[in-house]
Amino acid sequence: MTALLVVATAGAVPARAQATPIPDGRGVPHPRAVRVLRVPSEWHTIQAAIDHARDGDVVLVAPGTYTGVVDFHGKAIEVIGVEGATRTILYPCATRGLFGHTKDSFTNLASVTL
């Protein structure tokens, strides 16, 4: 049995569906929507949002001054200050520093002043 992966293309030519056969359809993960976790409206701390995030999720941080450790737990996520680095400030915890367990180039901390 062969499963088909359907991909829509767009550009200079009209969009049309293309099918690519996938042998047996096994090992193909089901796509999931990227979740957006908001600090502090949904999660009280940046770390709490990171703890509940999964690979691919985005943590949006409202303007403010935050303290603590940012441990990504090896997750490939993005943490973004929504109004830029001048309005979102992160101070490290005095005893543990600031960062722990990132996933190299797949982890992104943006628009935050450290």
The pLDDT score that the predictor gives to residue 5 is 40
Which pTM does this prediction carry?
0.65
Say how far apart CA 73 and CA 46 lie, in whole Å: 13
pLDDT for residue 104 = 56
State whether the Cα torsion 97-100-103-108 is positive or negative.
Answer: negative
3-state secondary structure of 72: coil
The pLDDT tens digits along the chain (114 residues) read 444 444 444 444 444 444 555 566 565 566 678 899 999 999 999 999 999 999 999 999 999 999 887 888 888 899 999 999 999 998 876 655 556 555 555 677 777 887
Q: What is the pLDDT of residue 6?
A: 40
- On average, the pLDDT of the chain sits at 75
Q: Helix, strand, or coil here: 50?
A: helix
